[in-house]
Chains A and B, each alone.
Chain A
């Protein structure tokens, strides 16, 4: 408690707190005003980078997915892209489109996850339930494509694991139309709700200048009016051939960050439609790898549209060298840096996640806000502790 002469009360928000996530926020409050808020991270550090040094290259694919649970494709894709640079292979066109398709499905349900958590943080259990409920069609779509709900491990060196199932295009169209209808409900009940506006507008304003200087990434950066998106800055997969806009908002407050995510969902749906329309025919695995598969297996693989890795892949050796890759995930830019010394495991793997780059905002945005604004700002950042801790 407070001793005499002291004005500030130190609040330990988390790690056992309904809205802290796997972290502790050390808040100093003066009355209802936050004087200082320091995030205390590292509670869910899983040493992914060190583990990668003793695992084989293919085993690392599921490993790097684990930290960012709602946004696994970004890590999967970034890691495999860096690996492909080292291996010097380029996936076939069809595989690139399939990668884009999964990345965009994942972006939508990752954004819905973030919006839902933010909803319950400011007290709207309806937004939470709706967002989590409406993730489901997208999860099922991804499941149909990859066989898994969250940790897809879909993207492999040289291609993807499975081909587009027959009829997925129509089902995807149905899901997208459903989501477009639901969007209206979201605006009526949640985004245009006067209480939501009162809680989010003008709260936690991040200026354009600060956003750039602090190295903020992803939707949080774009909400401050910076049109930076890796998909445009350094195109990968099928993005160069697709039309999409980079969503930006000018206000830089919590509501702008929410709106960027909402509008990105709409953009992602546009991309999914294009992918389904434009996807070329062809193999889904690089031909030099396809050749390694025994002929009988190769035939059945082609019929079923699924790739079963030949056993030689378990001991995939990567030429010495280093490679870096960047991917725009749901929460921001994911960077992978792999240093190979020609052995079975990478010599060093560096994984930079968007949440870790955005964690500085906790301290920056919360100076002088109200106690009740802490969850409103936290949620608007779509910060995911396991992803930051890795």
Chain B
């Protein structure tokens, strides 16, 4: 009983169970299946079907995971072995680490900080470093190009994404995610500052290489980019990392723009958490759906989107927030 109680302590429950590791893992299993299923629907196919047919092959991803587990992970002779083997672990860990600062209800969080938005945003910027390292350590030309592409993309999406998030912080006059969510009891952020919302959504998909920005691992150009030399479960980890990163960013996005856990029918942490999870899940699913719609941009086009479109838009959205504040929109709950 004590153990169960301990499990439901926020500082354990949030990072390990929900919205942390277990939830992320479940989402990973479902979203990869869903992505294939959605794409199949658009493309007039069945998609995964045969593993557990009654539910349309929903556990296909588990079968794939088992296959990854038993596949021999091959380490190239010329690779930098330590970096090669450690980067997937760091990549996955860092992709899901920001979740510790995400609250799931007004009263339920691992820790409360005045600057939790900054903590989350800062932690999400760490993972790409390991993608670049991965490209370098594989000692493969395609991996190298993929790593460099990732590096170029990072510098073009990171600044506007940060600015878009900050513009909402200006609007809510807080960097605390709990306060930001509570401030949206009435109007959601997406209505107050739609420009920032659209901009951040675009950049979120760009940062997790969803189509049309699936550039670092563009298959027809550079095989699998930084992941070219990876196989077995370490490939499973790197493949999962970008989904998990998208999931964490979607949680933050839901809190910033989609009212977080609002509207809240009953004030229970789990209901609030479920509310948040559903919103984040829909955002991840939208990202998965884009695969069926868009081809991929060229790297120079993506970079110019980052600098020439997203960057000015993020500056404008900061101005919009400032104007709204000066216009006397009061959202702060104290």
Q: State whether A373 touches B298 (Cβ < 8 A).
A: yes
Q: State whether B292 touches A126 (Cβ < 8 A).
A: yes
- How far apart are the CA atoms of A127 and B292 in the complex, in Å? 9
Residues of chain A contacted by B221 (CB below 8 angstroms):
19, 371-372, 374-375
- How far apart are the CA atoms of A17 and B223 in the complex, in Å? 6
Q: State whether A130 touches B299 (Cβ < 8 A).
A: no
Is B219 engaged at the interface, CB distance under 8 Å to the other chain? Answer: yes
Query: Range of interface residues on chain A?
Result: 20 to 34
Chain B residues 173 to 224 lying within 8 A of chain A, measured CB to CB, are 211-212, 214-215, 218-223
Q: State whether B298 touches A123 (Cβ < 8 A).
A: no
Residue of B whose beta carbon sits closest to that of A32: B299
Residues of chain A contacted by B296 (CB below 8 angstroms):
122-123, 195, 199, 372
Residues of chain A contacted by B111 (CB below 8 angstroms):
none
Knowing A19-B220, A375-B221, the reply to whether A126 touches B211 (Cβ < 8 A) is no
Knowing A19-B221, A123-B212, A125-B39, the reply to whether A372 touches B299 (Cβ < 8 A) is yes
Chain B residues 3 to 46 lying within 8 A of chain A, measured CB to CB, are 39, 42-45
Is A242 engaged at the interface, CB distance under 8 Å to the other chain? Answer: no
Q: State whether B223 touches A198 (Cβ < 8 A).
A: no
Q: State whether A375 touches B220 (Cβ < 8 A).
A: yes
Q: List 13 A-B contacts (CB under 8 A).
A: A1-B139, A18-B220, A18-B223, A122-B295, A122-B296, A123-B211, A123-B218, A123-B294, A124-B295, A193-B294, A199-B295, A371-B221, A372-B215
Q: State whether A133 touches B212 (Cβ < 8 A).
A: no
Which of B44, B211, B298: most chain A Cβ within 10 A? Answer: B298
Residues of chain A contacted by B219 (CB below 8 angstroms):
18-19, 123
Min C-beta distance of A255 to chain B, whole Å: 13
Residue of B whose beta carbon sits closest to that of A370: B298
Chain B residues 45 to 82 lying within 8 A of chain A, measured CB to CB, are 45
Residue of B whose beta carbon sits closest to that of A12: B141
Is A351 engaged at the interface, CB distance under 8 Å to the other chain? Answer: no
Is A344 engaged at the interface, CB distance under 8 Å to the other chain? Answer: no
- How far apart are the CA atoms of A195 and B129 in the complex, in Å? 28
Knowing A17-B223, A126-B43, A129-B45, the reply to whether A198 touches B301 (Cβ < 8 A) is yes
- How far apart are the CA atoms of A382 and B115 in the complex, in Å? 55
Knowing A121-B220, A372-B221, the reply to whether A126 touches B141 (Cβ < 8 A) is no
Q: State whether B300 touches A370 (Cβ < 8 A).
A: yes
Is A251 engaged at the interface, CB distance under 8 Å to the other chain? Answer: no
Q: What is the predominant secondary structure among interface residues of chain B facing chain A?
A: loop
Residues of chain B contacted by A86 (CB below 8 angstroms):
none
Is A69 engaged at the interface, CB distance under 8 Å to the other chain? Answer: no
Min C-beta distance of B299 to chain A, whole Å: 6
A residues neighboring B (CB under 8 Å):
1, 9, 11, 17-19, 32, 119-127, 129-130, 133, 189, 193, 195-196, 198-199, 370-375
- How far apart are the CA atoms of A133 and B293 in the complex, in Å? 17
Min C-beta distance of A19 to chain B, whole Å: 4
Query: Range of interface residues on chain B?
Result: 20 to 34
Residues of chain A contacted by B211 (CB below 8 angstroms):
123
Residues of chain B contacted by A130 (CB below 8 angstroms):
43-44
Min C-beta distance of B298 to chain A, whole Å: 4
Q: State whether B44 touches A123 (Cβ < 8 A).
A: no
Residues of chain B contacted by A122 (CB below 8 angstroms):
220, 295-296
- How far apart are the CA atoms of A126 and B294 in the complex, in Å? 8
Q: State whether B293 touches A123 (Cβ < 8 A).
A: no
Residues of chain B contacted by A1 (CB below 8 angstroms):
139, 141
Which of A19, A122, A123: most chain B Cβ within 10 A? Answer: A123
- How far apart are the CA atoms of A375 and B295 in the complex, in Å? 12
Which of B39, B212, B291, B299: most chain A Cβ within 10 A? Answer: B212
Residues of chain A contacted by B307 (CB below 8 angstroms):
none
Q: State whether A198 touches B43 (Cβ < 8 A).
A: no
Is B297 engaged at the interface, CB distance under 8 Å to the other chain? Answer: yes
Min C-beta distance of B322 to chain A, whole Å: 32
Residues of chain B contacted by A126 (CB below 8 angstroms):
39, 42-43, 292-293
Residues of chain B contacted by A17 (CB below 8 angstroms):
223
Is B145 engaged at the interface, CB distance under 8 Å to the other chain? Answer: yes
- How far apart are the CA atoms of A195 and B291 in the complex, in Å? 12
Residues of chain B contacted by A373 (CB below 8 angstroms):
298
Residues of chain B contacted by A193 (CB below 8 angstroms):
293-295
Q: A124-B295, A126-B293 are in contact. List 18 more A-B contacts (CB 8 A).
A: A11-B141, A11-B145, A18-B219, A18-B220, A18-B223, A122-B220, A123-B212, A125-B291, A130-B43, A133-B43, A133-B44, A193-B294, A199-B298, A199-B301, A372-B215, A372-B221, A372-B296, A372-B299
Residues of chain B contacted by A119 (CB below 8 angstroms):
295
Q: State whether B295 touches A370 (Cβ < 8 A).
A: no
Residues of chain A contacted by B141 (CB below 8 angstroms):
1, 9, 11
- How far apart are the CA atoms of A19 and B301 in the complex, in Å? 21
Residue from A19, A32, A129 within 8 A of B300 (CB atoms): A32
Min C-beta distance of A36 to chain B, whole Å: 16
Residues of chain A contacted by B222 (CB below 8 angstroms):
371
Q: State whether B300 touches A123 (Cβ < 8 A).
A: no
Knowing A32-B300, A126-B39, the reply to whether A195 touches B44 (Cβ < 8 A) is no
Q: State whether B297 touches A198 (Cβ < 8 A).
A: yes
Residue of B whose beta carbon sits closest to that of A200: B295
- How far apart are the CA atoms of A238 and B291 in the complex, in Å? 44
Residues of chain A contacted by B298 (CB below 8 angstroms):
198-199, 370, 372-373
Residue from A32, A121, A124, A133 within 8 A of B294 (CB atoms): A124
Residues of chain A contacted by B44 (CB below 8 angstroms):
129-130, 133
Min C-beta distance of B163 to chain A, whole Å: 24
Q: State whether B295 touches A196 (Cβ < 8 A).
A: yes
Min C-beta distance of B255 to chain A, whole Å: 30
Residue of A whose beta carbon sits closest to that of B220: A19
- How far apart are the CA atoms of A166 and B219 in the complex, in Å? 46
Q: State whether B218 touches A189 (Cβ < 8 A).
A: no
Residues of chain A contacted by B297 (CB below 8 angstroms):
195, 198-199
Residue of A whose beta carbon sits closest to that of B212: A195
Residue of B whose beta carbon sits closest to that of A369: B298
Min C-beta distance of A132 to chain B, whole Å: 9
Q: State whether B295 touches A195 (Cβ < 8 A).
A: yes
